[in-house]
Chain A
């Protein structure tokens, strides 16, 4: 099992540009989570999906952030336009149905300059 796969591993972009982060969950996992990690706030849940449907997006900071899950094997987190304060490590995680205990990907380190 390849685990949760995120891409890219690192992203450096200029303020105002659109950024798209990608995630492939573990096959068979139908819950998918996007977290953001910073030194100031730690691990924050942004949004999560069950069966490709967004269940709770209350953690999404603002309208500049959007997430989609078009099918069971792929999700994206988009920031448009990006700002320096969006700089963080973004993690995707997945789990089996109703199982509380995720498998995390290796994260995408985003730097907005």
Chain B
């Protein structure tokens, strides 16, 4: 069925290294994607979004890349810090903005080693 999935359930990186978290989506009609960060005991927090008419968007230390050809999304975190340790979710809007409903992927745990 239509779903959002992640390639890597756990990613361990050294402090200061760059992190790349991947996400595959299956619904070609999806045109809006968001990355969320969830720290332990908290709700998911918006990080960055991207629309399907873009292939790259940059924020502060984060970059999201979208490859519509292979239906792949990635989140790059530069100079990873211990505070980046969390579960990261990609989410998609599957109905072209007809609603503001989001479908979430299963999440990737990012563990930053000092």
Bound CA–CA A35/B101 (angstroms): 11
Cross-chain contact A104 with B43 (CB below 8 angstroms): yes
Using a CB-CB cutoff of 8 Å, which residues 32-50 of chain A contact chain B?
33, 35, 42-43, 45, 48
A39 to chain B minimum Cβ distance, whole angstroms, is 10
Collect the chain A residues with CB atoms within 8 Å of residue B89's CB.
42-43
Using a CB-CB cutoff of 8 Å, which residues 93-113 of chain A contact chain B?
93, 95, 98-107
> What residues make up the interface of B, taking CB atoms closer than 8 Å to A?
32, 34, 41-46, 49, 89, 93, 97, 99-107
- Given A42-B107, A91-B43, A98:B101 Cβ within 8 A: no
Collect the chain A residues with CB atoms within 8 Å of residue B41's CB.
106
Partner of A31, one of B34, B42, B43, B100: B100
| Chain B binding surface, main DSSP class | loop
**How extensive is the interface on chain A, given as a class?**
20 to 34
Collect the chain B residues with CB atoms within 8 Å of residue A100's CB.
32, 34, 49, 93, 97, 100, 102
User: What are 5 A-B pairs at a CB distance below 8 A?
Assistant: A35-B104, A42-B104, A42-B105, A101-B46, A101-B49
> What residues make up the interface of A, taking CB atoms closer than 8 Å to B?
4, 31, 33, 35, 42-43, 45, 48, 55-56, 91, 93, 95, 98-107
Cross-chain contact B99 with A56 (CB below 8 angstroms): yes
Collect the chain A residues with CB atoms within 8 Å of residue B43's CB.
4, 91, 93, 104-107
Closest to B41 in A: A106
Cross-chain contact A45 with B105 (CB below 8 angstroms): no
A23 to chain B minimum Cβ distance, whole angstroms, is 11
Collect the chain A residues with CB atoms within 8 Å of residue B93's CB.
100
Bound CA–CA A56/B89 (angstroms): 22
Bound CA–CA A55/B106 (angstroms): 24
- Given A42-B105, A42-B106, A43-B89, A102:B99 Cβ within 8 A: no
- Given A42-B107, A43-B89, A100-B93, A48:B101 Cβ within 8 A: yes
Partner of B46, one of A33, A55, A102: A102
